[in-house]
Amino acid sequence: MIAPRPFRFFADLWRRDRLTALGVATLLILLLLGVLGPYLPIGDATRLAVGPRLSPPSWRFPFGTDELGRSFLPRVVIGIRSTFLLSAAAVTMTASLGTLIGMVAGYYRGLADEVVARSADVLFSFPALLAGLLIAAAVGPGRITAISVIAIVALPLFVRIVRSVTLALTGRGFIVAAEVAGASTLRILGVHILPNIAGAVVVQFTYALSIGMIIESALSFLGLGVQPPDASLGSLLRQASVYLTFAPWLALTSGVVLSLAIMSVNLVGDAVRDALEPLNRRALT
Amino acid sequence: MRHLIYAASTLASGLGTMLGAAVLVFVALRFVPGGYADMLLGPFVTPAAREAIEKRYGLDQPVAAQFLHWLAAIAHGDFGVSMVTQKPVLDEFLRRAPVTLELAILALIMALLVGLPLGVVAGVAPANAKRSVAAARLVGAFGLSVPDFVLGTVLILVFSMWSLWLKVGGFVPFGEDPVLNLRTVLLPSAALALFGAALILRTTRDAVLRVMTEPFITAAVARGESPAIIVRRHVLRNAAIPVVTVITTYFGFLLGGAVVVEVLFSVPGIGLYTYNGLGNRDYAIVQTGVLLAACVFVAVNMLADMLYVLIDPRLAR
Amino acid sequence: MTALIEARGLTLAYDSPGHRALALDGVDLTIERDESLAIVGESGSGKTTLGMAIGRLLPGEARREAGDLLVEGRSVFDMTAADLRALRRDKLGFVFQNPMASLDPTMRVGKQVALALGGRGDVAELLARVELPNPERVARSFPHQLSGGMAQRVVVAMAIARAPFAVIADEPTASLDASVRHRVMDTLGRLRAETRASLVILSHDLRMVARHAERVAVMYAGRPVELGPVAQVLNEPAHPYTRALMRAGAGGERPGERPEPIPGSPTTLSARGASCAFAPRCAMRRPVCAIVRPESRSIAGRQVACHFAEAILAEEPTVEETNS
């Protein structure tokens, strides 16, 4: 009997590269949990006092209960959902914007390019969390703050890489040929340049996503991101750290799940990069 | 002469970046509810004091003029007065800067000690040494994935259960008791160092791998140079630029205030001060923290730009 | 006395996942002391692999399937890492195609040359030997401040720094301007004569070979198909491939004539050839060529691997005609 394709793909991956296979598996499981979370029979995230307060992990409450007697596992699942959703949404928006800006700057060069490159430098100079404090001062803590900070950090990453690849492309024969043939700028950017920078953008996306998750959780940990009663992995850890010595399982479970989530993104990102930008080197003997 | 021109252009572009950062901070401050006067004085101001401030900062003038006034004020070191202590904010920052600096330097040292050698080893390891390559990858991915506050929380948990010489919290200034100081700052530095170590490891490994594909490495092998010599004489220097970039970027961010770790471990550096400033709605502090951090970051990167020319002579052209 | 360098049935393959390419297919070749030998072929013919194998400078995916390569009677494949380094350092010198890329861009030329000398000579003196004008200034320069021709002279200087007994030059002038090519080659030739070292030139350029080498080995699909003194081989080629190469790259065309391209593309084998590898592109092929592998035979002062070498030699000397 032939195994279904996804399983064969995974078995192949496992044989070739276990670390990547583990990353892919973890990422898929966490994403599934995040998407299906509310429909899973793991208990209600919001019902108070379903069990004793701060009780250690048990069969009934695999991650224990929090200070209000809520089962912690469903809360962690909600946290996974909002951490992934918020970071992915912010990074996707930033990637689209950054790709557009970088392409236009790299294609037109001149003054527009200079302005874009300088602005990227300015954004890059802001330490993420201090920028978060400033934005929180201006618009108040919350999702908007988290998304803005992720955008400030990720935008220069995309603009810089897209700009430099576009700069390298514009002198190349096939672009010049398209220009001579009278293709519109839109067509050149969309049909000729975009496919050639897609790889670099994808590689950058995985990095930006992992950085975005770190920023989102750090802001939520500081109380500047996701606000209660909503929960993200960072805000769960913030509450849990109050009871660190009495109920360490709260901090440990949310911290470990958060780290696993970021790590799975990083491992998958590494594999993507190795596949798209391979290096052949020489041995020293 | 060439180097001088290069240095001057680096300086100019650095100052331009700082100016850009100032514009952004200025714009963000316009969004603060109550405006700049409230920001400096707090919500409980007498109309007279409010008017005095508005006159002093030219708040009744057009936005461009306001910006110039504001810029002139901060250029003279006038970042405003803390609402809570009624002292100049800049003095408060300068008082706390050494704490953050100590934390940053310790974290950088730890990150370098771990990241550099592992990165070089992983980079020059033969392609068939699958285990060592996988190990370096795992360490790198781990370090880049465990946020500093998660590691910090775990460290606090472990070291508050078993004291193990190091102390959790209760910061003591270096001038008062160096040993006690070290016992309190090693844990927060370690929490900060993990990310840096992984970052340096991966950047070093990638840079070394890239150099290893260069024909001059093949040429050195063909001259019968030993692997150790090739690495020391040819690989390290040619791989140095991306590594210097990532080290300075990391150090710049550390100096900009490791907000989360300082908050978590109650280390009274500029990160914690700025954070508390936000909590107290003491926005002059937030403004100063962000601006100073951005400027320090730019300054550190300017230094790196000047270092590049010393590493690779081709860049001086 | 043992030959300086000797390949005995050397068979090398490059392995990559799901793909295997035979780079050398049973090469028998001897390089004597104090001679200049050119190994000529299109890219993919295995000439670079053969040249690099002399110092065992092979990429990690290269695998020896059979045969051996001996330097002064010792197999390079049996040497320890330290012996191999000593061989490369003291007895062999390599010159690569792109001189700018084979110098360390971050190190002054003088220091690189001094490292190659290992304290056994004067940098400026060595640079003067390769006919570099103003050697002191060159020594103070970084590689990017030199021209391509100057950089290649530096590379040559580093190759002969320890008085090796063989210099292997892989397309030494391919990346240089036409005007300096012959001058760099003349320097190499003069140094060879002075030091009595052997010179192995790996090239696709038959005309350069004719001027700067004594013997030539024409490679096709991983083996020398014709090997002998330059004068004999190039004036009266006995292998159809040599003949085709002469026509394709002749360069002696009369006005209005174009070099005649060799039809088809170079063959890459994945296993030891059971037939003549050139047969699919050969104008003179017969049924036997697809069945029997031609072994190397001695004919008219050279080694040829073709079933019909005598017939080709007996034909009208076409190449001389077009070349005169």
Q: What residues of chain A score a pLDDT lower than 70?
A: 1-4, 41, 45-51, 69, 278-285
| Record: contact B225-C101, CB cut-off 8 A | no
| Record: contact A137-B141, CB cut-off 8 A | no
Give the gap in angstroms from C-alpha B312 to the nearest C-alpha of chain A. 20
| Record: contact B314-C105, CB cut-off 8 A | yes
Question: Residue C17 pLDDT more than 60?
Answer: yes
Per-residue pLDDT band for C260 (boundaries 50, 70, 90) equals low
Chain B residues in contact with C103 by the CB 8 A cut-off are 216, 219
Six-digit token string for B312: 């690779």
Strand, coil or helix: what is C95?
Answer: strand
Give the gap in angstroms from C-alpha B209 to the nearest C-alpha of chain C. 15
Cα separations (Å) of A170 from A162, A167, A195, C266?
Answer: 12, 6, 13, 34
Question: pLDDT digits over C212-256, tens only?
Answer: 899 999 998 888 999 999 988 888 888 988 888 887 765 444 445
Give the gap in angstroms from C-alpha B70 to the nearest C-alpha of chain C. 46
Tell me whether strands C297-299 and C302-304 are parallel, antiparallel or unpaired. antiparallel
Question: pLDDT digits over C138-148, tens only?
Answer: 999 999 999 98
| Record: contact C144-B313, CB cut-off 8 A | yes
Average pLDDT over residues C179-188: 87
- In sequence order, the 6+-apart residues with CB closer than 8 A to the CB of A106 are A113, A162, A163, A164, A165, A166, A167, A169, A170
Q: What are the backbone dihedrals phi and psi of residue A182, each rounded to the nearest 5 degrees, phi first?
A: 85, 20
Please report, as a single letter, which amino acid is at residue A151. Answer: A
| Record: contact C84-A285, CB cut-off 8 A | yes
Give the gap in angstroms from C-alpha A283 to the nearest C-alpha of chain C. 7
Mutate to test the interface with C, among B223, B233, B243 (most CBs of C within 10 A): B223
What's the CA gap between A237 and A118, in Å, rounded?
37
Mutate to test the interface with A, among B29, B246, B278, B297 (most CBs of A within 10 A): B278
Question: Side-chain half-sphere of A138: how many Cα atoms within 13 Å?
Answer: 21
Average pLDDT over residues C139-167: 92
Q: Say what the pLDDT of residue C323 is.
A: 42
Mutate to test the interface with B, among C102, C152, C170, C175 (most CBs of B within 10 A): C102
Question: Residue C322 pLDDT more than 50?
Answer: no
Give the gap in angstroms from C-alpha C94 to the nearest C-alpha of chain B. 6
Give the gap in angstroms from C-alpha A284 to the nearest C-alpha of chain C. 10
Mutate to test the interface with B, among A30, A124, A125 (most CBs of B within 10 A): A125
| Record: contact C116-B223, CB cut-off 8 A | yes
Question: Residue B281 pLDDT more than 80?
Answer: no
Q: Which residue has the tokens 């100057």?
A: C150
Q: Is residue A23 part of a domain?
A: no
Of B224, B312, B314, the CB nearest to C85: B224
Question: pLDDT digits over B227-236, tens only?
Answer: 888 999 999 9
A127 touches B at CB < 8 Å: yes
Q: Say what the pLDDT of residue B200 is.
A: 94
> Residue C18: exposed, middle, or buried by beta-carbon count in 10 A (0-12, 13-18, 19+)?
exposed
Q: What are the backbone dihedrals phi and psi of residue B304, each rounded to the nearest 5 degrees, phi first?
A: -60, -40
- Check: CB of residue C51 under 8 Å from CB of residue C202: yes
| Beta-bridge partners for C27 | C10
CA-based nearest residue to B165, from B178, B153, B179: B179
Q: What are the backbone dihedrals phi and psi of residue C31, each rounded to the nearest 5 degrees, phi first?
A: -115, 120
| Record: contact B224-C115, CB cut-off 8 A | no
- Check: CB of residue B26 under 8 Å from CB of residue B33: no
Chain A residues in contact with C14 by the CB 8 A cut-off are none
- The more confident residue out of C269 and C298 is C298
Question: Residue B126 pLDDT more than 50?
Answer: yes
Q: Is residue A46 part of a domain?
A: no
Average pLDDT over residues B45-73: 74
| Record: contact A129-B260, CB cut-off 8 A | yes
| Record: contact C84-A283, CB cut-off 8 A | no
| Record: contact B126-C60, CB cut-off 8 A | yes
Across A7-11, A114-118, B58-62, C50-54, least confident range: B58-62
Give the gap in angstroms from C-alpha B223 to the nearest C-alpha of chain C. 5
Chain B residues in contact with A126 by the CB 8 A cut-off are 21, 24, 290, 293-294, 297
Six-digit token string for A233: 């992995």
Chain C residues in contact with B126 by the CB 8 A cut-off are 60
CA-based nearest residue to A262, from A25, A26, A17: A26
Chain B contact residues (CB < 8 Å to C)? 126-128, 214-216, 218-226, 233-234, 237-238, 311-314, 317
Q: Say what the pLDDT of residue C284 is.
A: 83
ipTM: 0.85
Of B137, B149, B257, the CB nearest to A218: B149
Q: Say what the pLDDT of residue C324 is.
A: 37
What's the CA gap between C135 and B54, in Å, rounded?
71
What's the CA gap between C232 and C301, in Å, rounded?
8
Q: Say what the pLDDT of residue B9 is.
A: 84
| Record: contact C155-B225, CB cut-off 8 A | no
| Record: contact B224-C155, CB cut-off 8 A | no
Give the gap in angstroms from C-alpha B79 to the nearest C-alpha of chain A. 15
Q: Say what the pLDDT of residue A107 is.
A: 87
H/E run at residue B317: none
Residue C159, domain extent = 5-323
Number of H helices, E strands in chain B: 14, 0
What's the CA gap between A42 and A61, in Å, rounded?
9
- In sequence order, the 6+-apart residues with CB closer than 8 A to the CB of C145 are none
Question: pLDDT digits over C84-119, tens only?
Answer: 999 999 999 999 988 899 999 999 999 999 999 988
Q: Is residue A261 part of a domain?
A: yes
Give the gap in angstroms from C-alpha B200 to the nearest C-alpha of chain A. 15
Of C60, C86, C106, the CB nearest to B224: C86
Question: pLDDT digits over A19-28, tens only?
Answer: 888 888 889 9
Q: What is the CATH number of the domain that holds A205?
A: 1.10.3720.10
- In sequence order, the 6+-apart residues with CB closer than 8 A to the CB of B225 are B233, C85, C89, C115
Number of domain units in chain C: 1
> How many residue contacts between A and B have a Cβ separation below 8 Å?
170
| Record: contact C60-A283, CB cut-off 8 A | yes
Q: What is the CATH number of the domain that holds C272?
A: 3.40.50.300
Range among A183-187, B28-32, B37-41, C300-304 rated most confident: C300-304
Q: Say what the pLDDT of residue B86 is.
A: 79
| Record: contact C81-A285, CB cut-off 8 A | yes
| Record: contact B13-A214, CB cut-off 8 A | no
DSSP chain A: -PPPHHHHHHHHHHHH-HHHHHHHHHHHHHHHHHHHGGGSSS--SS-TTSS-TTPPP-SSSTT-B-TTS-BHHHHHHHHHHHHHHHHHHHHHHHHHHHHHHHHHHHHH-HHHHHHHHHHHHHHHTS-HHHHHHHHHHHH-SSHHHHHHHHHHHHHHHHHHHHHHHHHHHHTSHHHHHHHHTT--HHHIIIIIIHHHHHHHHHHHHHHHHHHHHHHHHHHHHTTSSSPTTS--HHHHHHHHHHTTTT-HHHHHHHHHHHHHHHHHHHHHHHHHHHHHS--------
Per-residue pLDDT band for C320 (boundaries 50, 70, 90) equals very low
| Record: contact C103-B313, CB cut-off 8 A | no
Q: Say what the pLDDT of residue C319 is.
A: 47
B258-274: b or e for each residue (b if 16 or more CB lie within 10 Å)?
A: bbbbbbbbebebbbbbb
Which CATH architecture group holds B89-316?
Answer: Orthogonal Bundle (1.10)
Chain B residues in contact with C158 by the CB 8 A cut-off are 223
Q: Say what the pLDDT of residue A3 is.
A: 59
DSSP B229-240: HIIIIIIHHHHH
DSSP C262-296: PSS----BSS--SS-TTGGG-TT--GGGGTSPPPP
Tell me whether strands C92-95 and C166-170 are parallel, antiparallel or unpaired. parallel
Q: Can you give the residue ranges of every domain in chain B?
A: 33-78, 89-316
Q: What are the backbone dihedrals phi and psi of residue A128, each rounded to the nearest 5 degrees, phi first?
A: -55, -50
Number of domain units in chain A: 1
Per-residue pLDDT band for C289 (boundaries 50, 70, 90) equals confident
Question: Residue B309 pLDDT more than 60?
Answer: yes
| Record: contact A266-B297, CB cut-off 8 A | no
DSSP B158-227: HHHHS--S--SS----TTT-HHHHHHHHHHHHHHHHHHHHHHHHHHHHHHHHHHHTSHHHHHHHHTT--H
Residue A251, domain extent = 72-280
Per-residue pLDDT band for C317 (boundaries 50, 70, 90) equals low
Average pLDDT over residues C31-45: 88
Q: Which residue has the tokens 């010393």?
A: B310
Give partners of B (≥3 CB pairs < 8 A).
A, C
Chain A residues in contact with B147 by the CB 8 A cut-off are 214, 217-218, 221, 258-259, 262
Q: Say what the pLDDT of residue B217 is.
A: 92
Q: Say what the pLDDT of residue C252 is.
A: 46
Q: Say what the pLDDT of residue B1 is.
A: 66
Q: Say what the pLDDT of residue B105 is.
A: 94
What's the CA gap between A266 and A23, in Å, rounded?
8
Q: Say what the pLDDT of residue A93 is.
A: 95
| Record: contact A285-C59, CB cut-off 8 A | no
Of C59, C81, C84, the CB nearest to A282: C59
